[in-house]
Amino acid sequence: MSSDWPAYVQNLGKSARRASQQLATLTDAVRSRTLRTIAAALRDQTAALLAENAKDIEAAKQAELAAPLIARLQLTEKKVAAMAEGVEQIAAQVDPVGQTIEGYNRPNGLRIEKRRVPLGVVLFFYESRPNVTSDAAALCIKSGNAIILRGGKEAFHSNRKIVQIVADALKASEIDPAAVQFVESTDRTLVPLLLKQDKYIDLVIPRGGESLIRLVVKESTIPVLKHFTGNCHIYVDKATAGMEQQVVDICLNAKLSYTAACNAVEHLLFHKDVAPALLPKVCAALAAKGVEIRGDDRARSLFTAAKAATPEDWDTEYLALIAGVKVVDSLDEAVAHINEHGSHHTDAILTTDLSAANRFVQQVDSASVMINSSTRFADGGEYGLGAEIGISTDKMHARGPMGAMDLTTYKWVVTGAGHVR
């Protein structure tokens, strides 16, 4: 560990706090204009950004990173244009700051108002997609927060360039560039130091593998909003007469439309009454698309090509062309299985029975509960939040997809006329 790190980290926090105090007083006109300047600069400097990105790609190839990882890292003119467009969309959103959440007069004439204000300073850990850098910076500027970015080391050069573009735009708007800072080292010993800056940082959002998130939770004295990935389920209820084709379509969509997404389905539960008819049909359709089926004994008796699932399978988020399949005796057994083995991210019921749908919604303890739709809809864009900073698997503060509004807190503003108690 560099002996300079403690001072470096404290300075990051202090300067971010100072910048956040300025940001909190800016109008949305200034914040949104700055975002449009950033978008324009991303377009203007595409070539320079691609040159920096090429350094990351070269290093990734030399380190023999897997092809899908390199693909996520790689920027193109089209991807940079999409980044710029994303920033403009965030600029166009309704201002999340200053809204009155509640306002009322008390019997003694005191006026009470609960008013939305920025959180302050956000520390954001994320992996290797460079577009996340511009999205996160834009969401924080829009919501009046300062942000400290710590991206994956694979994207170091790309991220540094993006943050430089952002800093130039901030300066042009006479905003303290410390509003968006980038941790200028990939040294891991910095991480525990950052996580102790509770005097200056209000929130940590770690997006990444489970081990990173566990480390952050263990070391942090700052509140953490976790973004664990999803072990999502679809339960096919006994009341599915007439919707057999929907069952097949939804299971295929949820597994295959983006298999590596956290809202992709991993496990399918079939009620015993409909399993003989539906389970083989769904499994055959998945297998035809290259999905490996792992089943419990009853599932395997209905779809003999299935491998035997191990107990670990039910707790596993595959993010791959694998699906666990199980037959259950009742809706209660499905709910109990999901609450025990799921990750409280997104779970769906397919049914025509209103009462079954209501019980499932009430009892499944997940951020998103879907009725007759694909788990893939659990997404900030699909929910109409605009860009998302993450999908919270926590229950505190924000749950499920998080947009700019979820980066705010509130302040009680109490107005009297000489009131004493």
Interaction site with a copy of itself (CB under 8 A): 21, 24-25, 104, 106, 110, 112, 119-120, 198, 202-203, 217-218, 221, 223-225, 243, 246, 249-250, 252-254, 257, 339, 357, 361-363, 365-374, 376-378, 382-384, 394-397, 399-401, 409-421
Residue 79, number of CB atoms within 10 A of its CB:
17
250: phi then psi, degrees, rounded to nearest 5? -70, -40
For residue 73, the minimal CB distance to a copy of itself (Å) is 25
Measured from the CB of residue 354, what is the shortest distance to a copy of itself in angstroms? Answer: 11
CA 335 – CA 65 distance, rounded (Å) = 39
139 versus 167: smaller Cβ distance to a copy of itself: 139
Min CB(331)–a copy of itself separation in Å: 13
What is the spatial order of strands in the sheet that 180-182 belongs to? Answer: 180-182, 146-150, 121-125, 203-206
* Residue (of 386, 390, 417, 414) closest to 401 by Cα position: 390
Cβ 371 to a copy of itself shortest distance, Å: 4
When the beta carbons of 18 and 153 are compared against a copy of itself, the nearer one is 18
**Residues β-bridged to residue 204:** 123, 224
For a copy of itself, the closer of residues 305 and 396 by Cβ is 396
Q: Which is nearest to 225 in space by CA: 101, 407, 9, 10?
A: 407
User: Which residue lies nearer to a copy of itself by CB, 217 or 305?
Assistant: 217
Query: Which amino acid appears at position 190 of this protein?
Result: L
Residue 224 is given by DSSP the state: B
Quick one: 8 or 383, whose CB is closer to a copy of itself?
383
Q: CB nearer to a copy of itself: give 21 or 330.
A: 21
- Tokens representing residue 126 in the block: 């994320």
Tell me how far, at minimum, the Cβ of 46 lies from a copy of itself, in Å: 30
Query: Minimum Å distance from CB 249 to a copy of itself?
Result: 6
Cβ distance to a copy of itself smaller for residue 27 or 186: 27
Q: Which of 134, 125, 171 is nearest to 22 (CA)?
A: 171
Q: Return the number of the residue (57 or 402) whose C-beta is nearest a copy of itself.
A: 402
Tell me whether residue 63 or residue 112 sits nearer to a copy of itself (CB atom).
112
Looking up tokens 């993010």, which residue turns up? 319
Specify the residue, 322 or 348, whose C-beta has the smaller distance to a copy of itself: 348
For the CB of residue 257, give the shortest distance to a copy of itself in the complex, in Å: 6
Going by C-alpha positions, the residue among 141, 223, 211, 228 that lies closest to residue 176 is 141
CB atoms within 10 A of CB 385: 18
C-beta separation of 337 from 269 below 8 A: yes
**Nearest Cα to Cα of residue 350 among 238, 261, 273, 267:** 238
| HSE value, Cβ hemisphere, 13 Å, CA-based, for 352 | 10
Taking the complex as a whole, the smallest distance from the CB of residue 90 to a copy of itself amounts, in Å, to 19
Q: How far apart are CA 301 and CA 279, in angstroms?
A: 10
CA 133 – CA 41 distance, rounded (Å): 15
**CB of 349: closest distance to a copy of itself in angstroms?**
10
The answer to whether 38 touches 139, Cβ cutoff 8 Å, is no
Nearest to 60 by CA among 156, 196, 159: 156
> Are 194 and 9 contacting, i.e. CB atoms less than 8 angstroms apart?
yes
Find the shortest distance in angstroms from Cβ 120 to a copy of itself.
7
